[in-house]
Amino acid sequence: MSGNESRVQAISQIVNRQLTPTKPPKRLEDMWATDVFTLSKMQESLPKSIFKSVKNTIQTGQKLDPSIADVVAVAMKDWAISKGALYYAHVFYPLTNSTAEKHDGFISVQSDGSVISEFAGKLLVQGEPDGSSFPNGGIRSTAAARGYTAWDVTSPAYVMETDNGMTLCIPTVFISWTGEALDKKTPLLRSIAAMNKAATRVLKQLGNTEVAPVNSSCGAEQEYFLVDANFANNRPDLLLAGRTLFGKPPAKGQQFDDHYFGAIPERVQIFMQEVEERMYRLGIPAKTRHNEVAPGQFEIAPVFEAANVASDHQQLTMTILRNTAKKHGFICLLHEKPFAGINGSGKHVNWSIGNATQGNLLDPGDTPHSNLQFLIFCGAVIRGVHKYGPLLRAVVATASNDHRLGANEAPPAIISVYLGSQLEDVFEQIRQGGVKDCQGRGIMNLGVETLPTFMKDAGDRNRTSPFAFTGNRFEFRAVGSGQSVSGPLVAMNTILADSLDWVANKLESDLAQGTELNAAIQKVLKEVMDEHGAVVFGGNGYSEEWHKMAVEERGLANLRTTADALPVLKAEYIEDLFEKTGVLTPVELESRFDVYAEQYLLAIEVEAKLVVSMAKTLIYPAAVSYLSDLSNTIAGLKEIGIDLDKETAQKVATLLKSMMDCTSKLTDALSNHDFASTEEHMQYASQTIRPLMDEVRQYADALEGEIADELWPLPTYQEMLFIK
């Protein structure tokens, strides 16, 4: 079947499809967390003393009593079996941004040949996957392969449903036999502990006598594209690289701004409703859904949760989106830039910190100028982002996210902090020597009696800022759609822990010298603004003026590509940061650079090989066929006295030759090279391979605009983006 025949068949199948009838809606209360082994389910099935021990570990961070594991394991197994589970799985998160799981049966064969269901405490607490088969930066090898998974009691177990039944899933950490973290969860838990320790110090210095454990919270807005599987399955680039390596922009894209918050297509809404039902059953608090800016792009956003649980739930959300899309005949694309020329997809990570006794520590209240607790914590964030901005850039650095960062659809690669006019004025007053008042919120009067008046927010939003204050939290907008949120959370928690320790040391020294508390706080905040206020910026982050000012006048880093950003992980001050906070050892940090650099190089290599293959085996034959047909047509018409202009044929031939010449250059560039370092190899991929890929695409996309549609072998942007 030719490429065009496949496209025609795909369109016919979509047009003639039958939508799955919607089921009667269920009450949220009836399905909420039904597939989760929640505290309430534990309380029903565990002895009182054991339940109290588990609860204390989950809620206060108290050390887990290993002697309770057998009792908890039996209760967990009985609950899972009552749901239809025959297997259990230790779920963990290796350094791949994906989820891994090892399944084992509850089956235990007895001496008489009969079987029983069995699940002991040692099986709950510890598993043993191969540590060398996951990216580890040299920590493990085939000859030294042992790795362990260990139960994370702070994240609830759950059952995952397929059409054939249930599997009990147990969130775990993943470590090597020698104790190094091979995953994203272990450093996240360490960063939370470090931040809690530092925040508790500061809160007690502020006069709080009762301080509950401090945790960070996270709410990740997940953007994604949906493409009909009939089209996606005819695009080798979408299947293997997650993005289109070729494709001429359609006449209509997003320029009318008519897709954002538009009416959700019925087929998509049915898909969304099933996604949300599965999320609710797993205790994931999905809150918002809507069309995004680009055609074919959508978003789902949850309510805030504790960072560790939110991170696990984010991984589950990506899994549910992908799996449910297949059931509805879609492919869910989580690549940051699946289509050139229209907006890509991010994952805005809303982050805050707080506890049960002091509440949200980033809530300014109605009078932020006099809320010293808020000002101290906000000031600590400002210092952390300024001092460690390159780290924040590095933890969102991937080959795919490079297509977003710096474009007029996503934050620039320069990390700055947006506070809003009210808070920017407050901190500027602090810089000048003392804060006296703040701008009021104001009232919105719409001028129509039947419409309500309401209080305006104290500050506007700035969509160009990579790190923006949005009322009672910061929104890290540079995170990519397909990324785990653990890495960004680890970085934010760790730099805050460092800054809060710095604040605590300053306050401790001043208070010991007899300085009054308010004066000591003012002194610390003024030093923050004097030394780190350069990171605060409320203007247009896309403008050339800002890029010049940020680098030349304010000394901020502009790390445009992953090749520029990842080496930050090898910097001595970053190594010191993670070592002194206890979040990552030097060996663990080095392994992450090695893993992420390798993933960057492999991603570009796969894409480049696909470009060569598709250009040679799909686009070249289509162009040759078109030229042959066109030449025969011109010759036939000439015989009957019609002299058709040869300009089109000449243009196609020129484009085809240019494309193939550039393809040959790309093939040569991919040949083995000896590089002095990984950094040099990454720069070569960024500065040589990527531009050659773009050049091949330029000629191929021009050919798409010239060749007869019936001969073009690939589903087009127009078809993939607008046919649902």
Q: What pLDDT digit, counting tens, does each position of 482-504 carry?
A: 999 999 999 999 999 999 999 99
Mean pLDDT of the chain: 90
Q: Is the pLDDT of residue 188 over 60?
A: yes
Asked if pLDDT for residue 247 goes beyond 90, the answer is yes
Mean pLDDT calculated for residue range 548-566: 96
Lowest mean per-residue pLDDT among 316-330, 392-406, 640-654, 676-690: 640-654
Stronger pLDDT, 137 or 404, i.e. the higher one: 404
Lowest mean pLDDT among 255-259, 477-481, 526-530, 615-619: 255-259
Output the pLDDT for position 365: 86
Q: What's the confidence (pLDDT) of residue 97?
A: 86
- The 10s digit of each residue's pLDDT in 212-242 is 999 999 999 999 999 999 999 999 999 999 9
d(CA 589, CA 585): 6
At residue 631, does pLDDT exceed 80?
yes
pLDDT reported for residue 722: 92
Q: Is the dihedral of CA 387, 388, 393, 396 positive or negative?
A: negative
Residue 137 banded pLDDT, cuts 50, 70, 90: confident
DSSP letter string, 348-410: EEEEEEEETTTEETT---S-GGG-HHHHHHHHHHHHHHHHHHHHHHHTT--TTGGGTTTSTTS
Q: How many residues does the chain have?
A: 724
Q: Is the pLDDT of residue 366 over 90?
A: no
Q: What is the DSSP string of 410-432?
A: S--SB--EE--HHHHHHHHHHHH
Secondary structure element (H or E) that encloses residue 586, with its range: helix 586-614
Take residue 476 and report the two structure tokens written for it.
């890290």
Residue 88, token pair as written in the block:
């259990």
Which helix (H) or strand (E) is 103 found in, with range?
strand 100-105
Specify the pTM: 0.93
CA 128 to chain centre: 28
Overall average pLDDT of the 144-152 stretch: 87
Contacts of 381 (CB under 8 A, 6+ apart): 362, 417, 474, 496, 499
CA atoms lying within 13 Å on the CB side of residue 21: 2
In whole angstroms, give the CA distance from residue 174 to residue 166.
23
- Taking only the tens place, the pLDDT of each residue in 331-359 is 999 999 999 999 999 999 999 999 999 99
Residue 356 tokens read as 């049960």
Q: Using an 8 Å Cβ cutoff, are 193 and 280 in contact? A: no
In degrees to the nearest 10, what's the CA dihedral of 461, 465, 468, 474? 130
Q: How confident is the model at residue 709 (pLDDT cuts 50, 70, 90)?
A: very high
Give the dihedral of Cα atoms 58, 61, 65, 66; nearest 10 deg: 80
Residues 6+ apart with CB under 8 A from 692: 608, 662, 665, 666, 669
Encoding tokens for residue 648? 């089109």
Q: Is the pLDDT of residue 203 over 60?
A: yes
Give residues with Cβ within 8 angstroms of 458, minimum separation 6: 364, 368, 420, 421, 422, 423, 438, 439, 440, 441
* 172 conformational bin, left if phi > 0, alpha if psi -120 to 50, beta if neither: beta
Residue 205 CA from chain centroid, whole number: 36
Q: Residue 141 pLDDT > 60, yes or no?
A: yes
Check if the beta carbon of residue 214 is closer than 8 Å to that of residue 354: yes
pLDDT in tens, 665-707: 999 999 978 899 999 999 999 999 999 999 999 999 999 999 9
Per-residue pLDDT at 2: 59
Q: Residues 256-276: pLDDT tens digits?
A: 778 888 889 999 999 999 999
Q: Which pLDDT band holds residue 583 (cuts at 50, 70, 90)?
A: very high
Residue 456 has pLDDT above 60, yes or no: no
Question: For residue 662, is pLDDT > 60?
Answer: yes
Please determine, for residue 571, whether its predicted confidence score (pLDDT) is greater than 70: yes
Question: How is residue 408 written in tokens?
Answer: 């007029």
Between residues 410 and 40, the one the model is more confident about: 40
Q: What angle do CA 646, 648, 654 make, to 5 degrees?
A: 100
Q: How far is CA 553 from the centre of its chain?
A: 31
Give yes or no for a contact between 298 and 260, defined as CB atoms under 8 angstroms apart: no
Listed range (92-106, 196-210, 495-509, 693-707) with the worst mean pLDDT: 92-106
For residue range 595-610, what is the model confidence (pLDDT) as tens digits? 999 999 999 999 999 9
Asked if 171 and 91 count as a contact pair (C-beta separation under 8 A), the reply is: yes
Lowest mean per-residue pLDDT among 46-60, 409-423, 447-461, 567-581:
447-461
User: Residue 7 has what pLDDT?
Assistant: 67
Q: What percent of the chain has pLDDT over 90?
A: 72
pLDDT of residue 438: 64
Mean pLDDT across the stretch 421-432? 87
Count of Cβ atoms closer than 10 Å to residue 695 Cβ = 18
